[in-house]
Amino acid sequence: MNFFAEQDHARRNTKWLVLLFVIAVIILIGLSNILIAACLWMFESTSPLDLPDNRSFFSADILVFVSLVMTSIIIFAIAFKWFQLKDGGRRIAESLGGQRILPNSQNPEQQQILNVVEEMALASGMPVPSVYLLKDEIGINAFAAGHTPADAVIGITQGALEQLNRDQLQGVVAHEFSHILNGDMRLNVRLIALLSGIVFVANLGEFLLHTQRYSGSSSSRTKSNDVRVAAAGIGLLALGWIGMFFANMIKAAISRQREYLADASAVQFTRNPEGIADALKIIGGYDAGSGLRTPLSQEASHMFIGDARRLGSFFATHPAIKSRIKRILPRWDGALIKRDIKKVAKPIYSKTSQQKANQHRQEQLKKTVFVAAAAEAAIDALENKSEKAEFSLSENTVTVSGELAHLPDGLLSLAHDPCGVISVVYALLLSDEEAQRNKQLDDIKDNLSKSSRIDETLKAWQWIVSVDKSYRLPLLELSFPALKCMSAKQHQRFMDNLRSLIKADQQVDMYEWCLYHLVKHYLSHQFEKVERSRPIFSSIPEIAEPFSVVLSSLAYFGHGEDKDIQRAFGIGANSIGLYTISLLPKEQCQVEHFGPAVKKLANAYPQIKQRILRALVACVCLDKQLTVLENEMIRCIAAVMDCPGPQISLGVRRP
């Protein structure tokens, strides 16, 4: 599956969404004018509006006035909802009643879902998202929310943790990762904001009726006014119901086919159709189904893997469960899996002590066989197999699972600890030279929250230097959920310390730049006001200048001989169709030039980003080897561009 093409498809869906929304607004404005005219006709003698002499209830003045008022109400509601959702997935999950599962949670059920999410994230080439638990929901459901992969979260109900085994959870999580990677997640957030505008009219009508219910005035004039206000409230409520009709229709039109696509992606990711199919069978045979009790599930119903609200088939945001299962398993006999509601949560490993459960988590994490199909999906999006740049795979392929298998248990535990994780990141920046390392620690010791942090950082550094440098990147990606548990003050101090560690030697190398910007990119959405990249460049020539800087930098960092540098640059330039650009001088390809160029490329359209990454992969893989730094640069570029990171299966050449 080409996720870049799916992102473009999701973007086109946004255009249809806007068109449907505009049509719905026009109809609501027309009905509002009819409602106002009816009210004026009923209460002609006491109308507060200054009617024209001809007493026309459909005059241009009234039409313009009502249209402006309705448009203003809708725009205000959309702007308010968008402001609420600006923090991305975290805000949506919390509004639905979700609570963040700490990365070092001791609950076996929570450990299992964290483990599954980690596997899928690293396999699909993106950092590990935070996981939120809807602990008061007994229905089986899950969702992915956020604007970009940087602020994405995975949400899951308590019922799903209680009723699904590991394979079924993996299918559900793979389904949600598809929504992240193919652009549905961003579309779903926009859908919530836009539709809140036309649904808000119903809320306004309910408010007017509520105020009249508790009105205690008894004068005849006041009662007359109360009747008018109540009539207006009923009218607005009726308009709101019509708005909800259009909202449900729009959600159904946009979401249904995307659910089929996500189910197919889950099978492709896991290579186990039984996982997602059995999860759907359990939802279909479960007493509580996939329904949610939170009232806010109505506006977010299209984000879940199953129907959060039971509506008629015409308005359902999801295809029928049986239809979805039949597409996954064409020979399915139609039998569902019956499950009873568990009144009390029963741990999956009920006979395992907490100590053994922790040991089980570490073993599972280290022995993970990451999903090959997810890597294939990323590679298929990058490689054009009709081109000449095809690469043979080395027997010494370095996979993420192989990297994690060599990480010490203590280091993995520290990376999952919200208190200790910052020591891991600090350790990743410490110099191999003792004098320089001591200077780095001296520069940050006054800005540490605990005096013991220096010893903890040194211990983490000793663990890190005991394994190969290629393990640095997956370790950092595993650390992000714990890093997101910091407070805003802790984050500011943390970023100050990172800058101090990097600048201790008065220079910034490419590895330091990549690490710092990966951390900044994935944490800033939670702690800072950031300007998201917007698709501006829709053609290859528009990105020629920044692309030549990035491609030249990769050619220099990945190859030593002049002829190899020139050949690598040429292959990358030709594969994207830029035949006239030339290799830049090395002094124009330093970190201070590389960074701004990558940020410009982030403003390309998804299909252009696909071609950019494909060209960069062709450049670094000229010698059919991949250095650790090349891999880190490619992954950092993909992250800043908000793209799935490519899993390049080539032998790693140690620098």
Can you spell out the DSSP letters for 328-355? H-TT-------BPPPSS---TTTTS-HH
Report the C-alpha gap between 483 and 515 in whole angstroms. 14
Residue with tokens 């053994």: 356
Sheet with strand 153-157: strands edge to edge: 99-100, 130-134, 153-157, 142-145
pLDDT of residue 560: 81
- Whether 176 is catalytic is yes
Q: Which candidate in 109, 137, 162, 176 is catalytic? A: 176
Q: Which amino acid is at 616?
A: L
pLDDT of residue 582: 92
**DSSP H or E segment with residue 426:** helix 421-428
> What's the token pair of residue 529?
């006001």
Q: 501-536 burial string, b = 16+ CB within 10 Å, else e?
A: bbebeeebebbbbbbbbbbbbbbbbbbeeeeebebe
Strands 99-100 and 153-157: unpaired
For the chain, 655 residues long, the average pLDDT of each consecutive 10-residue run is 53 64 78 71 53 55 77 83 82 90 91 90 81 92 89 93 92 90 81 78 64 52 57 69 73 75 83 91 89 79 81 66 90 88 48 43 39 37 35 32 69 91 94 91 84 88 88 88 91 92 88 90 82 83 93 87 90 91 90 89 87 89 80 86 68 45
Report the C-alpha gap between 86 and 17 in whole angstroms. 20
User: Coil, strand or helix: which one is 537?
Assistant: strand
Report the C-alpha gap between 184 and 263 in whole angstroms. 13
DSSP-derived secondary structure for 223-291: HHHHHHHHHHHHHHHHHHHHHHHHHHHHHHHHHHHHHHHHHHHHHHHHS-HHHHHHHHHHHHHBTTTT-
Rounded to the nearest 10°, the torsion over CA 104, 106, 107, 113 is 30
Report the C-alpha gap between 69 and 112 in whole angstroms. 51
Asked whether the beta carbons of 123 and 269 are under 8 A apart, the reply is yes
Measure CA 162 to chain center: 25
> What's the token pair of residue 384?
């054009």
Report the C-alpha gap between 276 and 167 in whole angstroms. 8
pLDDT of residue 351: 40
> What's the token pair of residue 518?
């990966």
pLDDT of residue 404: 63
Report the C-alpha gap between 462 and 485 in whole angstroms. 25
Q: Which amino acid is at 577?
A: G
User: Coil, strand or helix: which one is 92?
Assistant: helix
Q: Which residues pair with 155 in a beta bridge?
A: 132, 143
pLDDT of residue 169: 94
Report the C-alpha gap between 247 and 77 in whole angstroms. 14
